[in-house]
Each structure stands twice: as C-alpha cells, then as structure tokens.
C-alpha cells in the first residue's frame, strides 16, 4: 500500500505540473495570443489522465470533478472559439477547484489505508496468538513452555498496538521524557488520549502486560491460568482495535 501511495503521489505531481502549463496558456489567450491547438492538447492530456486516476481509485469526488469539467472548463480548453472574456475571467477559479479535487485524492487514499493496515496487523497477530495457544496447550506443566507462550502473546499484542499508533500517525510521548525510548505504558497512555482505547480497556491491558512481563522474567511467578487469560483476552482486545 505504501508503494502504491508513492506512485500515486508521483503521478499527481506530474498532473499538477501539466495543470500549471494549462493555466499559463489560458493567461496567454487572455492577452490575445493564439494558443490552440497546444491548449486543447495539454488540456485533454490533463483531463483524461486525471479522470482515469480518479476512476481507478473509486474517488468520492469524481462526480464533482466531472461537473466542473463539463460545465466550466471544457469549453475553454477544447474550443477556442467558445472562449469568452467571462470564461477567461472565471476560469482560474473553476480550474483551481478541479485541481483541488484531484490533489485531495492522495489524502482519501491515506485514510483508506488506515483500516487496511490495521486489519493486516491483526491477521499477523492472530497467527501469533494461535502459536502461543498451541505452545500453552502442549506445555503440560513445563514452566519454560508456559513462559514462552506468554512471551509470544506479548509480542503479538504489543506489535498490533504499535501498528495502530503508526497508522494513525500519533506521536508517543515518553514519561518521563528522560527515557531513551517510549515503553508499553507510554503506548497505552497515548492510545487512551487518542480515544483509541478507553480507560477500562487500558486497565485490562495493564494487567495482561504484567502477566506477559512476568513470563519474560524467570524470577517472577507465572500461573498457567493467567497466561491463558493473556492469550484469550489479548486476542479479543486486538480484534476490537482495528
């Protein structure tokens, strides 16, 4: 998805450069210069290229774009003999609106990317939770396997929460600021402030991460039932946070 966005933004930059040329040609026409067929050719390149891009992305502003072209821009670009002083006067405003609609396509695509990335993140986490569950089921009373299943579950849960932060573009503030990097508590606090988590969910996640931390430290006592809860509730909460 990131590669697709970069390609889209590059194409939009090319169309914007072409739009600058079209605007300059219309200004030349208003000064009495004959700019056809150059204006028509470049105008068609811009419109056909822009519209196909909007169609491919199922853009919500396609109808507005088409209306602007048909009612206000088309005559100026396609038919020199239909250009009137009034058309030339208002053309910059009409054309600017059409260009703005095209430029907004990238932002719409970025917004669509958020749920897609979150869903992909949960798919990866779900597999890791499944591995944690399998480890726990095979552990019998083997403490090393019980701890390992808890560590795998922690990785799954924490990775998913960090992906949520990244996809929403939310900065995580360290508390205290002197810490080298933000920790899980900073992550959870940030998610609550961003209204992605509610305080009740944060409290439960605090409890689950405590179990997970104990699994990673041999000196801490680990209870199999607690690890079962970590896996079960961790997976359920991750599924809600998409």
Which CATH number does the domain 112-240 belong to among 3.30.110, 1.10.1060, 1.20.120, 3.40.50? Answer: 1.20.120
**Rg of the chain on CA atoms, in Å:** 28
pLDDT value of residue 84: 62
pLDDT value of residue 46: 94
pLDDT value of residue 60: 87
Query: What percent of the chain has a predicted confidence (pLDDT) above 90?
Result: 34
pLDDT value of residue 222: 92
Q: How confident is the model at residue 97 (pLDDT cuts 50, 70, 90)?
A: very high
**In the chain, what's the furthest Cα-to-Cα distance?**
90
Chain centre to alpha carbon of residue 207: 30
**How does the average pLDDT of the chain come out, rounded?**
84
Q: Does the pLDDT at position 150 exceed 70?
A: yes
Mean pLDDT confidence for 209-216: 92
Q: Does the pLDDT at position 101 exceed 80?
A: yes
Q: How confident is the model at residue 235 (pLDDT cuts 50, 70, 90)?
A: confident
Q: Compare 123 and 233 and report the one with higher pLDDT.
A: 233
pLDDT value of residue 116: 46
Q: Does the pLDDT at position 7 exceed 60?
A: yes
For residue 237, what are its two tokens?
Answer: 């909460």
pLDDT value of residue 110: 67
Q: How confident is the model at residue 214 (pLDDT cuts 50, 70, 90)?
A: very high
Q: How confident is the model at residue 31 (pLDDT cuts 50, 70, 90)?
A: confident
Q: How confident is the model at residue 120 (pLDDT cuts 50, 70, 90)?
A: very low
Mean pLDDT confidence for 184-213: 92
Angle at 166 between CA 165 and CA 170, to 5 degrees: 55
Cβ-proximal residues to 78 (8 Å cutoff; 6+ apart), any chain: 40, 43, 44
pLDDT value of residue 80: 54
Helix (H) or strand (E) holding 71: none
Q: Does the pLDDT at position 103 exceed 50?
A: yes
Q: How confident is the model at residue 81 (pLDDT cuts 50, 70, 90)?
A: very low
Place of tokens 């949520």: 164
pLDDT value of residue 35: 85
């Amino acid at each position: 998805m990131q590669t697709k966005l970069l390609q889209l933004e590059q194409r939009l930059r090319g169309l914007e450069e072409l739009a600058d040329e079209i605007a300059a040609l219309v200004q030349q026409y208003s000064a009495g210069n004959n700019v056809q067929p150059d204006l028509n050719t470049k105008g068609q390149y811009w419109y056909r290229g822009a519209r196909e891009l909007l169609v491919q992305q199922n853009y919500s502003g396609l109808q507005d774009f088409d209306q602007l072209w048909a009612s206000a821009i088309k005559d100026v670009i396609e038919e020199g003999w239909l250009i009137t002083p009034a058309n030339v006067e208002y053309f910059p405003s009409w054309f600017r609106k059409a260009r703005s609609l095209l430029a907004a396509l990238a932002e719409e695509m970025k917004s669509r990317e958020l749920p897609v990335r979150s869903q992909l993140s949960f798919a990866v986490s779900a597999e890791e939770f499944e591995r944690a569950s399998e480890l726990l089921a095979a552990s019998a009373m083997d403490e090393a396997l019980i701890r390992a299943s808890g560590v795998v579950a922690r990785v799954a849960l924490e990775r998913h929460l960090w992906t949520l932060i990244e996809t929403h573009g939310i900065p995580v503030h360290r508390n205290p600021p002197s810490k080298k990097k933000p920790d899980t508590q900073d992550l959870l606090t940030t998610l609550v402030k961003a209204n992605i988590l509610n305080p009740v969910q944060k409290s439960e996640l605090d409890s689950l991460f405590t179990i997970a931390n104990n699994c990673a430290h041999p000196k801490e006592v680990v209870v199999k039932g607690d690890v079962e809860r970590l896996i079960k509730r961790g997976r359920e909460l991750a599924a809600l946070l998409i």
